[in-house]
Protein backbone atom coordinates (compact mmCIF):
# COMPACT_ATOMS: atom_id res chain seq x y z
CA UNK A 1 0.00 0.00 0.00
CA UNK A 2 1.49 3.35 -1.06
CA UNK A 3 1.61 6.43 1.12
CA UNK A 4 -1.55 8.53 0.99
CA UNK A 5 -2.45 12.11 1.76
CA UNK A 6 -5.19 13.49 3.98
CA UNK A 7 -7.21 16.39 2.58
CA UNK A 8 -9.13 18.66 4.95
CA UNK A 9 -10.59 21.92 3.70
CA UNK A 10 -13.62 24.18 3.93
CA UNK A 11 -16.44 22.96 1.68
CA UNK A 12 -18.77 25.07 -0.45
CA UNK A 13 -21.74 24.34 1.80
CA UNK A 14 -24.33 23.07 -0.67
CA UNK A 15 -26.85 20.79 1.03
CA UNK A 16 -28.51 20.11 -2.32
CA UNK A 17 -25.26 18.69 -3.64
CA UNK A 18 -24.44 16.80 -0.46
CA UNK A 19 -27.89 15.18 -0.22
CA UNK A 20 -28.09 14.55 -3.96
CA UNK A 21 -31.08 16.76 -4.66
CA UNK A 22 -29.59 16.97 -8.14
CA UNK A 23 -27.05 14.87 -10.05
CA UNK A 24 -23.81 16.61 -11.06
CA UNK A 25 -21.71 15.50 -14.02
CA UNK A 26 -19.03 13.90 -11.83
CA UNK A 27 -21.53 11.58 -10.08
CA UNK A 28 -22.17 7.94 -10.95
CA UNK A 29 -25.91 7.76 -10.22
CA UNK A 30 -25.79 3.95 -10.15
CA UNK A 31 -23.67 4.21 -6.98
CA UNK A 32 -25.61 7.02 -5.24
CA UNK A 33 -27.48 4.43 -3.15
CA UNK A 34 -24.10 3.44 -1.65
CA UNK A 35 -23.65 6.88 -0.07
CA UNK A 36 -23.64 6.87 3.73
CA UNK A 37 -25.80 9.43 5.56
CA UNK A 38 -24.75 9.98 9.18
CA UNK A 39 -27.02 12.95 9.97
CA UNK A 40 -29.78 14.58 7.92
CA UNK A 41 -31.66 17.35 9.72
CA UNK A 42 -33.48 20.43 8.42
CA UNK A 43 -31.47 23.61 9.01
CA UNK A 44 -34.51 25.46 10.39
CA UNK A 45 -35.12 22.64 12.90
CA UNK A 46 -31.46 22.71 13.92
CA UNK A 47 -31.65 26.46 14.66
CA UNK A 48 -34.83 25.96 16.71
CA UNK A 49 -33.19 23.21 18.77
CA UNK A 50 -30.04 25.23 19.38
CA UNK A 51 -31.32 28.77 19.93
CA UNK A 52 -35.08 28.91 20.60
CA UNK A 53 -34.71 28.59 24.40
CA UNK A 54 -31.98 31.23 24.47
CA UNK A 55 -34.12 33.59 22.37
CA UNK A 56 -37.05 33.07 24.73
CA UNK A 57 -34.86 33.83 27.78
CA UNK A 58 -33.55 36.95 26.03
CA UNK A 59 -36.98 38.24 25.01
CA UNK A 60 -38.39 37.85 28.53
CA UNK A 61 -35.75 40.28 29.80
CA UNK A 62 -36.57 42.95 27.21
CA UNK A 63 -38.91 45.78 28.16
CA UNK A 64 -39.05 47.24 24.66
CA UNK A 65 -40.74 45.33 21.84
CA UNK A 66 -38.23 46.57 19.24
CA UNK A 67 -35.42 44.79 21.10
CA UNK A 68 -37.08 41.39 21.06
CA UNK A 69 -35.97 38.75 18.53
CA UNK A 70 -38.97 37.12 16.81
CA UNK A 71 -36.83 34.73 14.76
CA UNK A 72 -33.09 34.16 15.34
CA UNK A 73 -32.26 33.07 11.77
CA UNK A 74 -34.09 36.07 10.30
CA UNK A 75 -32.37 38.27 12.88
CA UNK A 76 -28.94 37.14 11.61
CA UNK A 77 -29.52 36.81 7.87
CA UNK A 78 -32.76 38.70 7.03
CA UNK A 79 -34.12 35.74 5.06
CA UNK A 80 -35.33 32.17 5.40
CA UNK A 81 -32.84 29.24 5.59
CA UNK A 82 -31.67 27.83 2.27
CA UNK A 83 -29.75 24.81 1.03
CA UNK A 84 -26.65 26.93 0.52
CA UNK A 85 -24.54 28.86 3.01
CA UNK A 86 -25.79 32.41 3.68
CA UNK A 87 -23.29 35.03 4.84
CA UNK A 88 -24.55 37.83 7.09
CA UNK A 89 -23.42 41.45 7.15
CA UNK A 90 -20.86 40.66 9.87
CA UNK A 91 -19.37 37.77 7.81
CA UNK A 92 -21.27 35.26 9.97
CA UNK A 93 -22.33 32.13 8.07
CA UNK A 94 -25.60 30.25 8.42
CA UNK A 95 -23.58 27.04 8.67
CA UNK A 96 -20.08 25.77 7.97
CA UNK A 97 -18.88 22.78 5.99
CA UNK A 98 -15.70 20.72 6.10
CA UNK A 99 -14.69 18.28 3.39
CA UNK A 100 -12.48 15.34 4.49
CA UNK A 101 -10.80 12.82 2.20
CA UNK A 102 -8.14 10.11 2.45
CA UNK A 103 -6.08 9.49 -0.68
CA UNK A 104 -6.84 10.49 -4.25
CA UNK A 105 -8.64 9.00 -7.25
CA UNK A 106 -5.27 7.65 -8.42
CA UNK A 107 -4.49 5.61 -5.29
CA UNK A 108 -7.84 5.28 -3.44
CA UNK A 109 -10.48 5.15 -6.16
CA UNK A 110 -13.96 3.90 -5.23
CA UNK A 111 -14.18 0.15 -5.73
CA UNK A 112 -10.54 -0.58 -4.85
CA UNK A 113 -9.42 -2.38 -1.64
CA UNK A 114 -7.69 0.80 -0.46
CA UNK A 115 -10.95 2.71 -0.84
CA UNK A 116 -12.71 0.23 1.46
CA UNK A 117 -10.09 0.88 4.14
CA UNK A 118 -10.43 4.63 3.62
CA UNK A 119 -14.21 4.32 4.10
CA UNK A 120 -13.63 2.54 7.42
CA UNK A 121 -11.24 5.32 8.52
CA UNK A 122 -13.69 8.06 7.58
CA UNK A 123 -16.51 6.22 9.38
CA UNK A 124 -14.44 6.08 12.57
CA UNK A 125 -13.41 9.73 12.19
CA UNK A 126 -17.02 10.84 11.73
CA UNK A 127 -18.14 8.69 14.65
CA UNK A 128 -16.03 10.73 17.08
CA UNK A 129 -16.47 14.16 15.49
CA UNK A 130 -19.25 15.48 17.74
CA UNK A 131 -17.60 14.17 20.90
CA UNK A 132 -14.33 15.89 20.01
CA UNK A 133 -16.14 19.07 18.98
CA UNK A 134 -19.04 19.65 21.40
CA UNK A 135 -19.53 23.24 20.19
CA UNK A 136 -20.01 22.19 16.55
CA UNK A 137 -23.59 20.99 16.11
CA UNK A 138 -23.61 18.62 13.11
CA UNK A 139 -26.99 18.73 11.36
CA UNK A 140 -25.91 17.13 8.07
CA UNK A 141 -23.11 14.67 7.34
CA UNK A 142 -22.71 12.44 4.28
CA UNK A 143 -20.00 10.19 2.87
CA UNK A 144 -20.04 10.18 -0.92
CA UNK A 145 -19.21 6.91 -2.63
CA UNK A 146 -20.66 7.83 -6.03
CA UNK A 147 -17.73 10.04 -7.00
CA UNK A 148 -14.11 9.14 -7.78
CA UNK A 149 -12.81 8.96 -4.18
CA UNK A 150 -14.63 8.40 -0.86
CA UNK A 151 -14.99 11.66 1.07
CA UNK A 152 -17.02 13.28 3.84
CA UNK A 153 -19.15 16.45 3.79
CA UNK A 154 -19.68 17.61 7.39
CA UNK A 155 -22.12 20.52 7.86
CA UNK A 156 -22.33 22.12 11.29
CA UNK A 157 -23.38 25.21 13.24
CA UNK A 158 -20.83 26.64 15.72
CA UNK A 159 -22.37 27.36 19.13
CA UNK A 160 -20.91 29.89 21.57
CA UNK A 161 -22.09 30.92 25.03
CA UNK A 162 -22.08 34.47 26.42
CA UNK A 163 -22.74 36.24 29.72
CA UNK A 164 -24.52 39.24 28.17
CA UNK A 165 -27.22 39.61 25.58
CA UNK A 166 -28.33 36.42 23.87
CA UNK A 167 -26.56 33.75 25.92
CA UNK A 168 -26.34 31.13 23.12
CA UNK A 169 -25.40 32.18 19.59
CA UNK A 170 -24.02 31.12 16.23
CA UNK A 171 -20.41 32.12 16.95
CA UNK A 172 -17.41 30.41 15.38
CA UNK A 173 -14.71 32.29 17.31
CA UNK A 174 -16.39 31.65 20.67
CA UNK A 175 -17.00 27.99 19.84
CA UNK A 176 -13.31 27.47 19.03
CA UNK A 177 -12.27 29.28 22.20
CA UNK A 178 -14.58 27.16 24.37
CA UNK A 179 -13.17 23.98 22.79
CA UNK A 180 -9.65 25.04 23.80
CA UNK A 181 -8.21 26.41 20.54
CA UNK A 182 -7.69 29.95 21.80
CA UNK A 183 -8.54 33.24 20.16
CA UNK A 184 -7.57 35.00 16.95
CA UNK A 185 -7.36 34.13 13.27
CA UNK A 186 -5.19 31.05 13.87
CA UNK A 187 -7.74 29.32 16.14
CA UNK A 188 -9.40 27.62 13.16
CA UNK A 189 -5.96 26.56 11.95
CA UNK A 190 -5.15 24.98 15.32
CA UNK A 191 -8.48 23.14 15.27
CA UNK A 192 -8.00 21.83 11.74
CA UNK A 193 -4.49 20.65 12.57
CA UNK A 194 -5.80 18.77 15.62
CA UNK A 195 -8.44 17.06 13.46
CA UNK A 196 -5.77 16.21 10.86
CA UNK A 197 -3.78 14.44 13.58
CA UNK A 198 -6.84 12.47 14.73
CA UNK A 199 -7.49 11.16 11.22
CA UNK A 200 -3.77 10.48 10.78
CA UNK A 201 -3.83 8.24 13.88
CA UNK A 202 -6.97 6.44 12.69
CA UNK A 203 -5.42 5.76 9.27
CA UNK A 204 -2.21 4.50 10.87
CA UNK A 205 -4.21 2.12 13.06
CA UNK A 206 -5.90 0.75 9.90
CA UNK A 207 -2.56 0.20 8.17
CA UNK A 208 -2.62 3.27 5.93
CA UNK A 209 0.64 5.17 5.82
CA UNK A 210 0.03 8.91 5.58
CA UNK A 211 2.64 11.14 3.97
CA UNK A 212 3.26 14.74 4.81
CA UNK A 213 1.83 17.09 2.14
CA UNK A 214 4.52 17.59 -0.49
CA UNK A 215 5.86 20.88 -1.76
CA UNK A 216 6.65 21.24 -5.43
CA UNK A 217 10.39 20.59 -5.13
CA UNK A 218 10.22 17.38 -3.16
CA UNK A 219 10.58 18.53 0.44
CA UNK A 220 7.74 18.15 2.94
CA UNK A 221 5.65 20.60 4.85
CA UNK A 222 5.44 20.24 8.58
CA UNK A 223 1.85 19.71 9.69
CA UNK A 224 1.91 23.21 11.13
CA UNK A 225 2.92 24.72 7.78
CA UNK A 226 0.21 22.76 5.99
CA UNK A 227 -2.44 24.14 8.30
CA UNK A 228 -1.12 27.67 7.91
CA UNK A 229 -1.36 27.47 4.12
CA UNK A 230 -4.95 26.28 4.28
CA UNK A 231 -5.72 29.12 6.69
CA UNK A 232 -4.14 31.68 4.35
CA UNK A 233 -6.61 30.86 1.63
CA UNK A 234 -9.48 31.41 4.07
CA UNK A 235 -8.00 34.74 5.21
CA UNK A 236 -7.64 35.93 1.62
CA UNK A 237 -11.27 35.08 0.95
CA UNK A 238 -12.35 37.04 4.04
CA UNK A 239 -10.19 40.02 3.00
CA UNK A 240 -11.74 39.95 -0.46
CA UNK A 241 -15.25 39.90 1.03
CA UNK A 242 -14.37 42.82 3.31
CA UNK A 243 -13.01 44.89 0.40
CA UNK A 244 -16.16 44.24 -1.63
CA UNK A 245 -18.36 45.30 1.31
CA UNK A 246 -16.41 48.51 1.87
CA UNK A 247 -16.54 49.33 -1.84
CA UNK A 248 -20.32 48.91 -1.80
CA UNK A 249 -20.56 51.23 1.21
CA UNK A 250 -18.54 53.88 -0.63
CA UNK A 251 -20.76 53.55 -3.70
CA UNK A 252 -23.84 53.94 -1.50
CA UNK A 253 -22.39 57.07 0.14
CA UNK A 254 -21.61 58.63 -3.23
CA UNK A 255 -25.07 57.84 -4.57
CA UNK A 256 -26.70 59.29 -1.48
CA UNK A 257 -24.65 62.49 -1.79
CA UNK A 258 -25.54 62.84 -5.48
CA UNK A 259 -29.29 62.52 -4.82
CA UNK A 260 -29.43 64.86 -1.83
CA UNK A 261 -30.92 68.26 -2.69
CA UNK A 262 -31.46 70.95 -0.05
CA UNK A 263 -33.80 73.85 -0.82
CA UNK A 264 -33.19 77.26 0.70
CA UNK A 265 -36.49 78.32 2.25
CA UNK A 266 -35.19 81.84 2.86
CA UNK A 267 -35.25 82.65 -0.86
CA UNK A 268 -38.41 80.68 -1.60
CA UNK A 269 -40.30 82.71 1.00
CA UNK A 270 -39.38 86.12 -0.42
CA UNK A 271 -42.58 88.08 -1.21
CA UNK A 272 -42.38 90.00 -4.49
CA UNK A 273 -44.69 92.35 -6.38
CA UNK A 274 -44.74 94.82 -9.29
CA UNK A 275 -44.69 98.57 -8.65
CA UNK A 276 -47.12 100.98 -10.29
CA UNK A 277 -44.19 102.54 -12.16
CA UNK A 278 -43.16 99.57 -14.25
CA UNK A 279 -41.94 96.02 -14.24
CA UNK A 280 -39.50 96.32 -11.38
CA UNK A 281 -39.82 94.04 -8.37
CA UNK A 282 -40.28 95.35 -4.86
CA UNK A 283 -39.35 93.44 -1.73
CA UNK A 284 -39.48 94.28 1.92
CA UNK A 285 -36.34 95.59 3.55
CA UNK A 286 -36.08 92.44 5.69
CA UNK A 287 -36.42 90.16 2.65
CA UNK A 288 -33.88 92.22 0.71
CA UNK A 289 -31.41 91.90 3.55
CA UNK A 290 -31.99 88.15 3.58
CA UNK A 291 -31.38 87.91 -0.17
CA UNK A 292 -28.25 90.09 0.09
CA UNK A 293 -26.87 88.03 2.97
CA UNK A 294 -27.47 84.79 1.09
CA UNK A 295 -25.86 86.18 -2.05
CA UNK A 296 -22.77 87.23 -0.09
CA UNK A 297 -22.65 83.84 1.59
CA UNK A 298 -22.79 82.12 -1.79
CA UNK A 299 -20.01 84.25 -3.24
CA UNK A 300 -17.81 83.52 -0.25
CA UNK A 301 -18.59 79.80 -0.59
CA UNK A 302 -17.77 79.52 -4.30
CA UNK A 303 -14.11 78.63 -3.73
CA UNK A 304 -14.98 76.15 -1.02
CA UNK A 305 -17.69 74.60 -3.23
CA UNK A 306 -15.27 74.19 -6.13
CA UNK A 307 -12.70 72.65 -3.79
CA UNK A 308 -15.26 70.20 -2.39
CA UNK A 309 -16.40 69.31 -5.89
CA UNK A 310 -12.81 68.72 -6.96
CA UNK A 311 -12.15 66.57 -3.88
CA UNK A 312 -15.31 64.58 -4.54
CA UNK A 313 -14.21 63.93 -8.12
CA UNK A 314 -10.79 62.85 -6.90
CA UNK A 315 -12.46 60.51 -4.41
CA UNK A 316 -14.53 58.98 -7.21
CA UNK A 317 -11.42 58.49 -9.31
CA UNK A 318 -9.64 56.89 -6.38
CA UNK A 319 -12.68 54.68 -5.78
CA UNK A 320 -12.59 53.57 -9.41
CA UNK A 321 -8.88 52.86 -9.17
CA UNK A 322 -9.49 50.75 -6.07
CA UNK A 323 -12.22 48.89 -7.92
CA UNK A 324 -9.77 48.07 -10.69
CA UNK A 325 -7.24 46.86 -8.13
CA UNK A 326 -9.94 44.82 -6.42
CA UNK A 327 -10.79 43.16 -9.73
CA UNK A 328 -7.13 42.36 -10.21
CA UNK A 329 -6.85 40.95 -6.68
CA UNK A 330 -10.01 38.87 -7.18
CA UNK A 331 -8.66 37.46 -10.44
CA UNK A 332 -5.31 36.76 -8.84
CA UNK A 333 -6.93 35.07 -5.85
CA UNK A 334 -9.09 32.89 -8.11
CA UNK A 335 -5.97 31.91 -10.03
CA UNK A 336 -4.17 31.12 -6.80
CA UNK A 337 -7.00 28.96 -5.47
CA UNK A 338 -7.19 27.03 -8.76
CA UNK A 339 -3.49 26.29 -8.69
CA UNK A 340 -3.70 25.22 -5.04
CA UNK A 341 -6.64 22.95 -5.86
CA UNK A 342 -4.94 21.42 -8.90
CA UNK A 343 -1.49 20.91 -7.46
CA UNK A 344 -2.14 20.58 -3.71
CA UNK A 345 1.27 22.09 -2.98
CA UNK A 346 3.16 25.36 -2.74
CA UNK A 347 6.65 26.27 -3.88
CA UNK A 348 8.93 28.53 -1.87
CA UNK A 349 8.66 31.19 -4.58
CA UNK A 350 4.87 31.04 -4.44
CA UNK A 351 4.90 31.39 -0.67
CA UNK A 352 7.04 34.50 -0.98
CA UNK A 353 4.68 35.87 -3.64
CA UNK A 354 1.72 35.06 -1.40
CA UNK A 355 3.32 36.98 1.46
CA UNK A 356 3.68 40.00 -0.82
CA UNK A 357 0.07 39.58 -1.93
CA UNK A 358 -1.17 39.67 1.66
CA UNK A 359 0.83 42.86 2.23
CA UNK A 360 -0.82 44.39 -0.83
CA UNK A 361 -4.25 43.34 0.43
CA UNK A 362 -3.55 44.96 3.81
CA UNK A 363 -2.40 48.14 2.07
CA UNK A 364 -5.55 48.11 -0.05
CA UNK A 365 -7.72 47.75 3.06
CA UNK A 366 -5.98 50.72 4.69
CA UNK A 367 -6.49 52.83 1.56
CA UNK A 368 -10.17 51.93 1.46
CA UNK A 369 -10.59 53.07 5.05
CA UNK A 370 -8.98 56.39 4.13
CA UNK A 371 -11.32 56.77 1.16
CA UNK A 372 -14.33 56.10 3.40
CA UNK A 373 -13.17 58.81 5.78
CA UNK A 374 -12.54 61.06 2.81
CA UNK A 375 -16.04 60.54 1.39
CA UNK A 376 -17.52 61.23 4.81
CA UNK A 377 -15.57 64.48 4.98
CA UNK A 378 -16.80 65.35 1.49
CA UNK A 379 -20.39 64.95 2.59
CA UNK A 380 -20.43 68.75 2.33
CA UNK A 381 -20.46 68.24 -1.41
CA UNK A 382 -24.23 68.38 -1.04
CA UNK A 383 -23.67 72.13 -0.50
CA UNK A 384 -22.67 72.28 -4.13
CA UNK A 385 -26.10 71.02 -5.20
CA UNK A 386 -27.69 73.41 -2.71
CA UNK A 387 -25.92 76.46 -4.10
CA UNK A 388 -26.68 75.53 -7.71
CA UNK A 389 -30.35 75.24 -6.87
CA UNK A 390 -30.18 78.46 -4.87
CA UNK A 391 -28.59 80.34 -7.78
CA UNK A 392 -31.35 79.25 -10.18
CA UNK A 393 -34.16 80.29 -7.82
CA UNK A 394 -32.49 83.57 -6.92
CA UNK A 395 -31.97 84.54 -10.56
CA UNK A 396 -35.62 83.95 -11.36
CA UNK A 397 -36.80 85.92 -8.33
CA UNK A 398 -34.55 88.88 -9.06
CA UNK A 399 -35.47 89.22 -12.74
pLDDT tens per residue across span 147-161: 999 999 999 999 999
Q: Is the pLDDT of residue 217 over 60?
A: no
Residue scoring higher pLDDT (254 or 208)? 208
Phi and psi at residue 136, to the nearest 5°: -105, 105
Is residue 235 a contact partner of residue 185, using CB atoms and an 8 Å limit? yes
User: Measured between alpha carbons, how far is 248 from 236 in angstroms, rounded to an integer?
Assistant: 18
In the chain the first and final C-alpha atoms are separated, in Å, by: 97
When computed from its CA atoms, the radius of gyration of the chain, rounded to whole angstroms, is 31
Q: Is the pLDDT of residue 212 over 80?
A: no
pLDDT tier at 12, thresholds 50, 70, 90: confident
User: Measured between alpha carbons, how far is 377 from 22 in angstroms, rounded to an integer?
Assistant: 51
Q: Which residues of 117-148 are buried (b: 16+ CB within 10 A; e: fewer)?
A: bbbbbbebbbeebbeebebbbbbbbbbbbbbb
DSSP run (H or E) holding 121: helix 113-127
Give me the mean pLDDT over the 202-227 stretch: 63
Residues 347-398: pLDDT tens digits?
A: 556 666 767 777 777 777 777 667 656 666 776 555 545 555 566 565 555 5
pTM value surpassing 0.75: no
Q: Is the pLDDT of residue 121 over 80?
A: yes
Q: What is the pLDDT of residue 343?
A: 58
Spatial neighbors of 384 by CB under 8 A, at least 6 apart, are 305, 308, 309, 312
Amino acid sequence: MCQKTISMCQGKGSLSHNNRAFAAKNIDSSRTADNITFVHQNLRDAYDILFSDAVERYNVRQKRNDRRIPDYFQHLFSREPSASVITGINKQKSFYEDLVQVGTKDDTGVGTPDAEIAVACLREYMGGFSERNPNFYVFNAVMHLDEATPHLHIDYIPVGHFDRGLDTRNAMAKALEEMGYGKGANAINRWRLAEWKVLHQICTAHGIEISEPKKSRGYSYTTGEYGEHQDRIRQLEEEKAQIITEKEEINAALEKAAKKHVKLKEIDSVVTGKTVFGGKITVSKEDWENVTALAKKEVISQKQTKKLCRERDEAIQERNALKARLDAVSSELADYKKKEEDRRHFSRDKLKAESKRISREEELSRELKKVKAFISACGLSSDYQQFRYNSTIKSKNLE
